[in-house]
């Protein structure tokens, strides 16, 4: 509070009104006219000017009515305004006009109050809100504001100012803490921004590399497409110049397949030749052992089966290793030995000529092809040649077959 009011402010608001001498017009007991600023109690100027009017606006009004105020600080301007408003002056009238215009809506609301009790309750409701500056001006200037209510309002405003001061100090403490926290967060933000800038630079570099790579790939793609179109045009020209080219390609593919099949058959043939060579070697070894065996007695002398002199006996089929045994048995009986493998190695076309040269036919039905079997059977049926079908390719089976056909009349050799 300003120096002019130091003695007055030391008087408690709870004292009787006579303890605080008034310097303005007494409060009217009745009537509807609102009091002016210079008609308020002496204790009201400091809170009204300090609370209801912002300091920048107060300084503008003081400069407008009193002249230059740059050399005065805010406290001095406040004290000058309080002194000037105690009586009617240009500054007090300017402040009065400013407050009336600033709080016109609040004044209109307070105008509806018709008693001191209603005004007190309205002030209590407004004081609980955050913005009570307009309510202070409206309550102090209301025609129903008596001395008791005025002192109560001023006391409550005085305590509210203390509370505001304590809140300001707490806010300043919190503000200092927030400043420290803000400094820490600022440093962290600066570090984060530095990291973000570095990452952005790295991403920008990678993006440029990717874009350059994409350009190269597009260029390669265009070249590949151009080359493909050229090749397609060449292919179309080749196809137009050689209409039989698809047929040639098909024949070439078929030729490669046939060559592969021929190579497979050649491998099988080579394998079969190796097996035939091995069988011939085994037959020669068996023939060599048979040659070294003592010759058996003639059939007529031994009382065995009669001889087959001057007859040509054809053996169709049989194992390759058993052919020397067949030859020995047949030639031992005085006959000529003929043999055909039944279509496995010998050409099947030679079978007809061999059948025509034979007098007797012994067919190993289990060791010949199906085609050779039916050709032997058909030839013997047409020509009437004796034919015995043997299922087991053994020496005993061959001897039994010879005994079965020995009763057949001896035809003319070669007939």
Taking the domain 290-405, which CATH number applies? 3.40.50.2300
> Mind listing the pLDDT tens digit for each residue in 154-170?
888 888 877 776 666 66
Q: How far apart are CA 296 and CA 196, in angstroms?
A: 114
Q: Are 318 and 344 in contact (CB under 8 A)?
A: no
Which token pair is 268? Answer: 């099988």
Q: Are 92 and 84 in contact (CB under 8 A)?
A: yes
3-state SS class at 278:
helix
The band of 213, judged by pLDDT with boundaries at 50, 70 and 90, is very high
Residue 291 is predicted with a pLDDT of: 60
Q: How far apart are CA 124 and CA 74, in angstroms?
A: 31
Domain coordinates of the chain in residue numbers? 3-173, 290-405
Helix or strand (DSSP H, E) at 414 = none
Binning the chain into helix, strand and coil, the percentages to the nearest 5 are: 70, 5, 25
Q: How far apart are CA 118 and CA 337, in angstroms?
A: 155
pTM confidence score: 0.35
Residue 244 is predicted with a pLDDT of: 77
Cβ-based neighbours of 276, under 8 Å, separated by 6 or more: 320, 345
> Mind listing the pLDDT tens digit for each residue in 171-186?
677 787 888 889 899 9
Helix or strand (DSSP H, E) at 71 = none
Residue 340: count of CB within 10 angstroms of its CB: 27
């Amino acid at each position: 509070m300003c120096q002019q009011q130091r003695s007055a402010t030391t008087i408690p608001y709870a004292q009787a009104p006579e303890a605080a001498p008034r310097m303005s017009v007494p409060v009217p007991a009745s009537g509807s006219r609102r009091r002016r600023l210079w008609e308020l109690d002496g204790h009201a100027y400091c809170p009204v000017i300090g609370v209801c009017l912002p300091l920048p606006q107060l300084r503008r009004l003081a400069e407008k009515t009193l002249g230059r105020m740059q050399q005065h600080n805010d406290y001095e301007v406040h004290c000058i305004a309080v002194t000037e408003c105690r009586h009617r002056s240009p500054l007090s009238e300017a402040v009065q006009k400013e407050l009336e215009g600033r709080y016109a809506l609040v004044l209109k609301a307070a105008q509806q109050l018709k008693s001191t009790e209603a005004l007190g309750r309205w002030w209590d409701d407004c004081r609980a809100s955050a913005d009570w500056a307009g309510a202070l001006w409206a309550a102090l200037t209301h025609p129903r504001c008596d001395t008791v209510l005025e002192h109560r309002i001023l006391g409550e405003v005085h305590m509210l100012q203390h509370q505001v001061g304590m809140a300001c100090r707490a806010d300043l403490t919190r503000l200092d803490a927030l400043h420290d926290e803000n400094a820490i967060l600022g440093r962290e933000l600066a570090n984060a921004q530095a990291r973000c800038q570095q990452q952005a630079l790295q991403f920008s570099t990678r993006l440029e590399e990717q874009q350059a790579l994409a350009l190269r790939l597009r260029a390669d793609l265009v070249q590949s497409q151009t080359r493909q179109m050229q090749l397609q045009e060449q292919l179309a020209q080749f196809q137009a110049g050689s209409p039989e080219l698809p047929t040639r390609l098909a024949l070439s593919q078929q030729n490669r397949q046939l060559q592969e099949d021929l190579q497979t058959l050649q491998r099988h043939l080579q394998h079969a030749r190796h097996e035939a060579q091995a069988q011939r070697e085994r037959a020669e070894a068996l023939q060599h052992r048979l040659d070294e065996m003592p010759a058996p007695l003639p059939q007529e002398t031994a009382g065995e089966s009669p001889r087959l002199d001057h007859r040509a006996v054809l053996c169709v089929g049989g194992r390759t290793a058993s052919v020397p045994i067949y030859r020995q048995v047949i030639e031992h009986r005085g006959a000529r030995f003929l043999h055909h493998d039944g279509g496995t190695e010998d050409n099947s076309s030679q079978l007809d000529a061999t059948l025509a040269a034979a007098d007797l036919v012994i067919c190993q039905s289990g060791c010949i092809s199906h085609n050779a079997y039916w050709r032997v059977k058909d030839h013997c049926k047409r020509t009437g040649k004796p034919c015995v079908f043997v299922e087991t390719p053994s020496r005993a089976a061959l001897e039994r077959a010879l005994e079965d056909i020995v009763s057949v009349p001896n035809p003319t050799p070669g007939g």
